[in-house]
């Protein structure tokens, strides 16, 4: 009975969604979460290992010190204890980018350092990137991907596929969902949330969150140099809405700021 199978899968999906919701710290947003944090950290570790195999790690001790100095302060400000933080500088002068993988694995490309300009500028970048991990945006993307794939499985079940195949399809759905979740850039809600949390983390770490505005202005200027396409800006468009949101969050962030 194909329709019966479809019904069971639909119920499964609904149960997963209900069981799999949680709240983001500080912003209180409810998010879809179908994987445990341990799973997410494990996936992050595997992705980080792969990345390190290919990445050209910088040998510049000053860049390394800068990234560790700022990164460790931001990491401490998050209060996240089950992460094993690692910070690496990637020697790519033309790449204006940085990221933080679930589990606390942070990479900063040398290309973003002149745009960051100083510790506070880098704190804006790292506050934002680390906020993506703390808010579990990777796990959320994976969950959205899994759900989309499960929807497709439900459809194929409705078309009358056999049970063993359905089971296999559910497994594949998880695999595909995980791939989609780790590859695609974050959505607008997640970007705003990372801006918001990033301001709080930088302020808690002792960096003036008001400096974020001038960082984004420098990023905008850097985007005009066509020889260095800024990946960071292409996934983080410097829109007016975004600047207005950041300005609106500043009073809240400043409550956490007690000077350097």
Please indicate whether residue 129 is annotated as part of the active site. yes
State the minimum distance, in angstroms, from the CB of residue 67 to Zn ion. Answer: 18
Buried/exposed 47-67: b ≥16 CB within 10 Å, e otherwise:
bbeeeeeebeebeeeebbebb
Site string for Zn ion, 138-177 (x = CB under 5 A): ----------------------------------------
194: contact with Zn ion by CB under 5 A: yes
Beta strands in 75-161 (DSSP E): 86-90, 98-101, 105-109
Toward Zn ion, which CB reaches closer, 6 or 216? 216
Beta strands in 2-104 (DSSP E): 21-23, 30-32, 86-90, 98-101
Among positions 172-191, residues that touch Zn ion (CB under 5 A) are: 191
State the minimum distance, in angstroms, from the CB of residue 132 to Zn ion. Answer: 5
The catalytic residue among 38, 40, 65, 129 is: 129
Beta strands in 114-222 (DSSP E): none
Toward Zn ion, which CB reaches closer, 116 or 150? 116
Toward Zn ion, which CB reaches closer, 138 or 177? 138
Using only C-alpha atoms, what is the Rg of the chain?
20
Integer angstrom CA distances of residue 136 from 14, 130, 143, 161, 180 = 21, 10, 11, 35, 15
State the minimum distance, in angstroms, from the CB of residue 58 to Zn ion. Answer: 22
Name the residue with the smallest CB distance to Zn ion. 194
Interface ranges with Zn ion (CB under 5 A): 191, 194
Give the residue numbers marked as catalytic: 129
């Amino acid at each position: 009975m194909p329709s019966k199978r479809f019904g069971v899968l639909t119920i499964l999906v609904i149960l997963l969604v209900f069981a799999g919701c949680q709240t983001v710290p500080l912003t209180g947003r409810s998010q879809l979460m179908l994987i445990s944090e341990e799973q997410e950290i494990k996936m992050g570790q595997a992705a980080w290992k792969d990345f390190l195999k290919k990445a050209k790690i910088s040998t510049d001790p000053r860049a390394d010190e800068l990234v560790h100095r700022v990164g460790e302060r931001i990491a401490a400000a998050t209060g996240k204890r089950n992460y094993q933080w690692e910070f690496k500088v990637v020697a790519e002068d033309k790449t204006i980018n940085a990221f933080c993988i679930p589990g606390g694995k942070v990479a900063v490309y040398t290309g973003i350092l002149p745009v960051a300009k100083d510790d506070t500028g880098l704190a804006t970048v790292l506050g934002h990137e680390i906020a993506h991990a703390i808010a579990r945006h990777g796990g959320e993307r994976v969950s959205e991907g899994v759900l989309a794939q499960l929807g497709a499985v439900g459809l194929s079940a409705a078309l009358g596929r056999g049970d063993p195949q359905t089971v296999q399809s559910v497994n594949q759905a998880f695999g595909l969902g995980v791939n989609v979740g780790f590859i695609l850039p974050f959505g607008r809600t997640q970007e705003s949330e990372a801006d918001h949390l990033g301001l709080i983390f930088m302020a808690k770490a002792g960096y003036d969150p008001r400096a974020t505005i001038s960082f984004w202005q420098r990023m905008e200027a850097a985007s005009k140099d066509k020889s260095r396409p800024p990946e960071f800006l292409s996934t983080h468009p410097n829109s007016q809405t975004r600047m207005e949101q950041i300005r609106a969050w500043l009073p809240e962030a400043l409550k956490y700021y007690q000077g350097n």
